[in-house]
Chains A and B, each alone.
Chain A
Amino acid sequence: MKHRTFLEYRRYRYLKVATLLALISIFVFAWYTFPVGRYGGTVVGYVLGTISALLIVWLMWLGVQKRRYKANISGIQGWLSAHVYIGGALIVLATLHAGFQVGWNIHTLAYVLMLIVIFSGFFGVFAYLRFPALMTANMGEETLDSLVQKIADLDREIRRTAMSMSDEINAVAMESIKNTRVGGGVFAQFLHRPGNCPTKRAVVFLEGIGKTLKGDQQKQNRDLYSLMLRKEKWVDRARADVRFKALLDLWLYIHVPVSFALLAALTAHIISVFFYW
């Protein structure tokens, strides 16, 4: 049976709901005459605004639901499906609520934060649909742990081979063993090919020095070089995997905190409007 994503949940049930919601909003917005202009302060504006605000709170409730429904995967799937589609419809509702008016104020701040939340969520959907396949393509049968094991085995061989080679070569090999890092800090996790990777330096160095060596030394160097090349490939794959994992994580570091910022801005928006009614 074909694997169904949360997007297809119950034959796109929530896509239909969201589309209907958006269409009704557009229809009401177009049909209703706004004697003093289209904006949040009209009857339609208040209705759209109330619905939008309630939806935002409801959508944020997913964060709570996710923790509650630990055992029930299909429950979570339904929630997630609704979360994504209704979240998308919110763009239409909130834009019509604002009547396409923007300015440098708390009202537009809330609107912009909402858009950031929604579009970061869209990136999340994209990431979950796209990256797993790319990650599998990158790793094949390997896992990060198995790659680490392989790199460690290679390192042992590299150390053994380099032991009987000149100090210069040995130092380069040792540097590769000691200081080749995969992932690390926030930015390092996103770097596919860090510029100062000691393994890459070793590959370049060994290739260069190989031309000056002769006999046994040259043969040893060739062995070490091929070991280093293999290591470089595995390190690259491990780094790509780390990067994908970081990207899969990253959008949530925007989606979640900005959601809370939005909740705060929404509160300020609503109170301010009625404070100065």
Chain B
Amino acid sequence: MKLLLVQLTRNKLGQVTRTQQTLNVDQVRIGRGSDCKFHLPDPRVAMHHAVIGSSGSDLTNDSTCFIEADAGLVTIDGTIERAAKLKVGQKIHLGPFELIVLQHVADVDLALSWELLDPLKDNLEGVKANVKVGLRNTWLSKRFFSWAGAAAILSVFLIWPVVSALNPPPKMSGAQAMASPVLASAITADASWNPGELASPHQGFGRDCAQCHTQPFVHTTNAACESCHQIIGWHFARDTKEAKAMHAAVFEKPGDATQCASCHRDHKGPMGLVRQDSPLCTQCHADLKIKVPRTTTANISDFSKDHPPFKLSMLVPGKTGREGIVRVSQDESGLKEKSNLKFPHDVHMEKKGIRGQNGKTVMECKNCHVPDETGSRFKPTTMKDHCQDCHSLEFEPKATDRQVPHGNVADVLATVNEFYAQAVLADTPIDVVFDEGARRPGERLNVADPAKRLAALSWASKKGATISQELMEVRVCFTCHEIKRVSVADGTDPKTPPTQTWQVEPIAVTQHWLPKSRFPHNQHSPYECKECHQVEKSKTSADIAIPDLKNCQGCHAGNITTTDKVRGTCETCHGFHVGGSKSGVPIPLPGGVPHDPKERAAKSVAVLQPKAHP
């Protein structure tokens, strides 16, 4: 087979140069291999890419020439072929080479032109194209991220909250807000502004910021606080002109000092609303005598250093109002309580027990001192509940079911007199009533006989007087009460001699010795009563068993906690708003504050005012 190969090469202007080569072989192997007669020098061509051969003997017939793929791909007119006959005009692609079957040429079995269509790129350019350096050549963009981040943050954390705050939902009260399911569940626009957890009482409506933050760019106002907190006390009573002026100067000047929020900062956690720090108090009280020369309040800077002795508030028997309470310093010598009640603690606290109506009883403190509802302090001790079980008011041993009433001398005398008159006049076996020999045993009084009746009544009257005197001056009433004999003149007739009677001195058992402080007894329950109140050897009710300053200082340090003591700031025992409220409703004492303002008022009065022993 004679084969004519025409190589086409083009210069930059596209002009073609032809180079001819004639091969005379049976078969022509095409490839980049050096053993290929039809050599195509390019790595993209297979070593042995294809074979061209002739199958027929009629060498003039072009249809006998064929091409057959070997290790490479052969594409003929765009179609991949395994083997094909060659026809004039066919375009054959082998890698980057194009072969075209040419018109017959004399003496040649097959004429082909070949051309490298896609020369390999320059090596350097190829490598450079594969090297990509620098983040600026990637999708990362500082500018885009800057704008996007800033815009997102401003939208979510500034624009949205401001727009929503300026277009508030309908105003709700605190209670409504608490009940509103929308506020309870939804994420509010300004939630991201919340700098910290609210005080627990405020958390219910806390998602509605406008409850307290009523105006943009304005401090929270007292009005916002007072819309709920209507009963708030002054710091001290404004009951004199001077006190009023002083209060105004310190607490009512315009600006920050009047703000509730200057002390009560919210968003400080569930318990963070009330200041517990002593400096709040000591910034004035450390040198109060300089600031207010006429004050009777002592200077104090630290509980462990210069707290004055406790001042006891004792009831004054028979007096009410301001005169009913006397305040005395606990360090005064010979301090005695005048309660007009006889009560020797030692007798009652006898370890072996005390004889009562029901036999011997060993008494404990809690028998008489019963904690009140708050557990902080104690219910008043009463005759009915705490004494009468043992201290029966019987007056006649032969009639143990009869007792004199408790509470009023006149009633006692009347009861005694009536009892003996009734006994002597009624159809009662006399020896049951008395045994002075006026009757013989078994004899009955003839009531129809006026003389006898008179004699009987006279006896009853005498007997009544004797027993009454006994009750008032020897036993029963006298056991507990201070009683004095008095003469009462009949106002209507000056000639009538005054009647002899008795007066029970008014009882003034002090219930709250230290009303300006709070002492939650229940929080001190690990300690026994006697650790603070030494009464076991007290022989008289005049002894005062209120523990003194040193006693408290045994466990409580001052402003700074020590390793062995509990911190004791001013707030530990004292309140701030203790001076009577703006609205006129008395400020409840610490502990046991009823919810209803009226009840609250009544209760606080009841504790402060001296009250006759029931």
**A interface residue numbers (CB < 8 A to B):** 33, 35-37, 39-41, 101, 103-107, 109, 144, 148-149, 151-153, 155-156, 159, 162-167, 170, 173-174, 177-186, 188-189, 238, 242, 245-246, 249-250, 252-253, 256-261, 263-265, 267-268, 271-277
Contacts and interface: CB of A to CB of B under 8 A. Distances in A.
B606 interface: no
B106 interface: no
A177 B126 contact: yes
Interface stretch (B130-138, B241-249, B323-331, B375-383): B130-138
Nearest to A147: B131
Interface in B123-150: 123-124, 126-128, 130-136, 138-140, 142, 145-150
B90 to A, nearest CB: 25
Interface residues of B, number: 66
Contact of A105 (B47, B195, B279): B195
A167 B71 contact: yes
Interface stretch (B151-159, B293-301, B591-599): B151-159
B515 interface: no
B213 A162 contact: no
Given A155-B126, A167-B47, A260 B162 contact: no
B527 interface: no
Contacts of B157: 106, 109, 264-265, 268, 272
A46 to B, nearest CB: 13
Contacts of A163: 32, 41, 43
A154 to B, nearest CB: 9
B558 to A, nearest CB: 15
**Which residue among B120, B131, B134, B275 has the maximum number of chain A CB atoms within 10 Å of its CB?**
B131
Nearest to A242: B133
B192 A264 contact: no
Given A156-B123, A174-B43, A183-B132, A103 B195 contact: yes
Contacts of A257: 142, 145-146, 148-149
A113 B494 CA distance: 100
28 contacts: A33-B279, A37-B272, A41-B265, A106-B157, A144-B131, A152-B128, A156-B123, A159-B43, A163-B43, A164-B33, A166-B47, A167-B47, A170-B43, A174-B43, A178-B126, A181-B132, A183-B131, A186-B139, A189-B138, A246-B135, A249-B135, A257-B145, A257-B149, A261-B153, A264-B153, A268-B157, A268-B158, A276-B190
B277 A35 contact: yes
A271 B47 contact: no
B354 interface: no
B124 A148 contact: yes
Contacts of A177: 123, 126
Nearest to B128: A148
Nearest to B263: A36
B489 to A, nearest CB: 66
A103 B127 contact: no
A106 B268 CA distance: 16
A275 B212 CA distance: 12
A275 to B, nearest CB: 5
Interface in B189-248: 190-197, 209, 213, 216-220
Given A181-B130, A256-B142, A256-B146, 4 more contacts: A35-B263, A148-B131, A167-B72, A268-B157
A253 to B, nearest CB: 5
B405 interface: no
B50 interface: no
